[in-house]
Amino acid sequence: MTGTLENFRSICTKIICVGRNYSEHINELGDVAPTTPLIFMKPPSAFVIEPNDIKIPSDWDELHHEVELGVIINKKCQNVSKEQAEENIGGYCLALDMTERKIQYDFIKQGYPWLLCKGFDTSCPCGNFIDKNQINPLSSSVNLWLRVNGQMRHDGHTRDMIFAIPDLIVYISKYITLEHGDLILTGTPAGVGPVKRGDQIEAGINGENNFKYAMKFNVS
């Protein structure tokens, strides 16, 4: 095993994303709730960190923000049981699942995969590693928020996930081997909306004991 979880972005081989995991978000897009977790991936080339920009490809014009809690895996694991799920979590991070919404819904109509509209370069703006002793969303809900140009868009709580974090690890690890540094994005709460070039996105996590983490990205 090489690399520490503090630099998970440089050792991460898989960004596994969960979609439609909050009812209010499913309703805002008129989608149908999945009966098992809806899983897709972004390549690690999607990562972008402060102070770099989120770059909208020149021919796209409906990029949406989605604020999400990231779960960072601390060891290789397969077929994890619900009881073992917590011991495979090394920590957390704040992440955005940037999505070209118009292309996504064209792809949905045609039955195409979401890789391009969700996995383009800079589609995964990501914050620093957050240790398990700083937040524990398994026992206490954390607040995820996001503002665009100072205007609040997302203000959600991880307690509202349809599939809780342990259930996601059980489900994913039944089919895909998870490895040290892998990142699971757990889905967005309601509030998704468009950003354009020149906008500034601020996003944060608030947890118990006054824990606060925030990050800022310009869109270009």
Ligand X SMILES: CC(=O)CC(=O)C(=O)O
Q: Which residues bind ligand X (CB under 6 A)?
A: 17, 19-21, 25, 29, 31, 66, 97, 99, 187-188
CB of 97 to ligand X, least distance (A): 5
CB of 17 to Mg ion, least distance (A): 6
The gap from C-alpha 167 to its chain's centroid, in whole angstroms, comes to 16
Closest residue to ligand X, based on beta-carbon distance = 19
CB of 64 to Mg ion, least distance (A): 9
What's the order of all strands across the beta sheet hosting 151-157?
Answer: 151-157, 143-148, 200-206, 212-218
97 belongs to the binding site for Mg ion (CB under 5 A): yes
Selection from ligand X, Mg ion, none that 117 binds (CB < 5 to 8 A by kind) is: none
Selection from ligand X, Mg ion, none that 125 binds (CB < 5 to 8 A by kind) is: none
Q: How many residues can be counted in the chain?
A: 220
Q: Which is nearer to ligand X, 88 or 188 (CB)?
A: 188
Cβ–Cβ < 8 Å for 185, 18: yes
Among residues 47, 45, 40, the alpha carbon closest in space to that of 17 is found at 40
Q: Residue type for 87, please?
A: E
66 belongs to the binding site for Mg ion (CB under 5 A): yes
Part of the chain binding Mg ion (CB under 5 A), chosen from 2-10, 64-72, 156-164, 199-207: 64-72
Residue 179 CB contacts under 8 Å (≥ 6 apart), including other chains:
13, 14, 73, 75, 76
Residue that the structure tokens 């996504």 belong to: 104
Q: Which is nearer to Mg ion, 74 or 188 (CB)?
A: 188
21 belongs to the binding site for Mg ion (CB under 5 A): no
Among residues 71, 9, 16, 96, the alpha carbon closest in space to that of 45 is found at 9
Q: Which is nearer to ligand X, 77 or 95 (CB)?
A: 95
How buried is residue 214: exposed, middle or buried, by Cβ count under 10 Å (0-12/13-18/19+)? middle
Selection from ligand X, Mg ion, none that 20 binds (CB < 5 to 8 A by kind) is: ligand X
Footprint on this chain of Mg ion (rule: CB under 5 A): 66, 97, 188
